[in-house]
Structure 1
Amino acid sequence: MSAIAPVIQLAGLTKAYNVGTPVETEVLHGIDLTLAEGEFAALIGPSGSGKSTLLNIIGLLERPTGGRLSIAGRDTATLSEAEITQLRGRSIGFVFQFHHLLPAFSALENVMMPTIIARGRPDDEAEATALQLLDAVGLKAHARKKPAELSGGQQQRVAIARALALKPRLILADEPTGNLDTHTADEIFALLREFNRQANCACLIVTHDPRLAARCDRIVRLVDGRIAEDDPAGG
């Protein structure tokens, strides 16, 4: 049997802006990173170190300037924009510091949205899956409420449920607890960890919270666009 391809594989990845101009600036310098299914890694580093740029590239929101990026076993350099969009939609779930829920829609409809986009329409299966996910994050009773009727922690729980709607192989979380109090942050982190273990999906979390980073499997430290450390954490 052949080995399962890593969920994320970066080799010599670079990113520059204003390429070919006098103000060309390279912000990522030869990044090598592999993340296997089931791994739960923290991405840390000072402001301006390139964390958000790296997360955007892994999330297929930006293209790298050089090097190789494979997601779920597919070399992204050979993919069209349409194929990139499809791969991103089906393989990656996003959780941000600010939940980005659609205010006009209920919690249930927000969780259903990735499935509706993927299939072109809502259906009973999508609703059933969304309800199961809301139940898993403790919000089934609030399924019909709009985001404005929910607390910040509840809105982030809805965002996590939405990220899991299509059973992605990779969860990318950019400061998912950065806008929450310590108790709620711990609850949100525990939810991500639980889904990581249940679904065996890979998770990469940008955090400034050393307590949370220490509870991951690995800590990847980015400094000035380079990986300075990549070590096991407490788990």
Structure 2
Amino acid sequence: MAQPVIRLAGIRKSYNIGTEVETEILHGIDLDIAAGEFVALIGPSGSGKSTLLNIVGLLERATAGRIEIDGIDSATQDDAGLTRLRNRSIGFVFQFHHLLPAFSALENAMMPGIIAEGRATDAHEAAARELLRRVGLEAHSHKKPNQLSGGQQQRVAIARALLLGPRLILADEPTGNLDTHTADEIFALMREVNRERGSACLIVTHDPRLAERCDRAVTMIDGRLRAD
């Protein structure tokens, strides 16, 4: 079988380690996601979903366990290596878009390339323009985030996440701040891109309608995966 894009084995996460209030949040998570899979992560608030997403996205380190992204063991990477791996292989889409207010939609979409190269390049601009066209914002590329609707801002965030062609897309409640119609449009766009590009996608959602439209859903309760 092909190597999974993401492989988690025995992932544990604790806070306040070595103190009287040490608390384990994740209790041995095992999860594989293959290229082209679109997986929903569901469960009640406080169950550990966002913590797991941060660990998968290499924003936090696990206390124990093994994380492989595209065949690379994250434990073998120093901080600089993790940054390179995160920037090259992972695209992030959040509930709140985290667009930079001083920059245009085009510049925000180019940001991963600017970070990777230390400067804007013609190739990054061409890729960003094509992605904005792809998400229906070609005519709005010059606008600042405060000139765009919530759905349009989320489309810019999707274009930004896709700029470098990441193998893994992580989305934390990407439609949670949108009305139902716009949420459905954003989900359909992410699903379409997932199918076209063959990227793996892990989406945290509280919306059962969206979870039902994913390839599979995993349920997290009290820091454990209960169903797949």
> Shorter-chain TM-score category?
over 0.9
Cross-structure match for 1:13? 11
Deviating above 6 A after TM superposition, structure 1's stretches of 4 or more consecutive aligned residues are: none
Equivalent positions of 1:108-187 (< 5 A) are 108-187=106-185
Shift of 1:4: 3.2
2:209 match: 211
Matching residue of 1:233: none
Q: Distance in 2 between matches of 1:162 and 1:123?
A: 15
AA at the equivalent of 2:62? P
- For residue 61 of structure 1, what is the amino acid of its counterpart? L
Counterpart of 1:47? Answer: 45
Helix, strand or coil at the partner of 1:103: coil
Q: Secondary structure at the match of 1:87?
A: helix
Q: Deviations over 1:59-80 (max 9, x none)?
A: 0000000011111111111110
2:46 and 2:212 mapped to 1: Cα distance?
Answer: 22
Cα shift readout 1:126-181 (whole Å, capped 9, x = no counterpart): 11100000000000000000000000000000000000000000000000000000
Q: Which amino acid aligns with 1:104?
A: A
Moved more, 151-160 or 117-126: 117-126
Partner residue in 1 for 2:31: 33
Return the alpha-carbon distance in structure 2 between the equivalents of residues 222 and 201 of structure 1: 23
Query: What is the one-letter code of the residue matched to 2:73?
Result: D
Task: Report deviation, 1:124.
Answer: 1.1
Normalising by structure 2, we get a TM-score of 0.99
2:152 maps to amino acid = Q
Tell me how far apart the structure 2 counterparts of residues 194 and 43 of structure 1 sit (CA, whole Å). 19
Distance in 1 between residues matched to 2:215 and 2:69, nearest whole Å: 20
Could you tell me which residue of structure 2 aligns to residue 66 of structure 1?
Answer: 64
- Per-residue CA deviation, residues 25-53 of structure 1 (Å, 9 max, x unaligned), is 00000100000010000000001100000
Matching residue within 161, 180, 200 for 2:198? 200
Corresponding position of 2:78: 80
Provide the secondary structure at the position in 2 that maps to 1:21: coil
Structure 1 residue identity aligned to 2:70: A
Alpha-carbon separation, structure 1, partners of 2:119 and 2:66: 35
Deviations 1:90-110 (A, max 9, x none): 000000000000000000000
Report the AA paired with residue 171 of structure 2. A
- Percent identity, please: 73
Distance in 2 (alpha carbons) for counterparts of 1:101 and 1:151 = 12
What's the offset of the Cα at 1:120?
1.3
- Please give the secondary structure, in 1, of the residue aligned with 2:47: coil
Match of residue 219 from structure 2: 221
2:131 and 2:26 map into 1 onto residues whose CA distance is 36
Gaps of 5+ in 2: none
Say what the alpha-carbon RMSD is for the aligned residues. Answer: 0.6
Distance in 1 (CA, whole Å) between partners of 2:168 and 2:76 is 20
What letter matches 1:96 in structure 2?
F
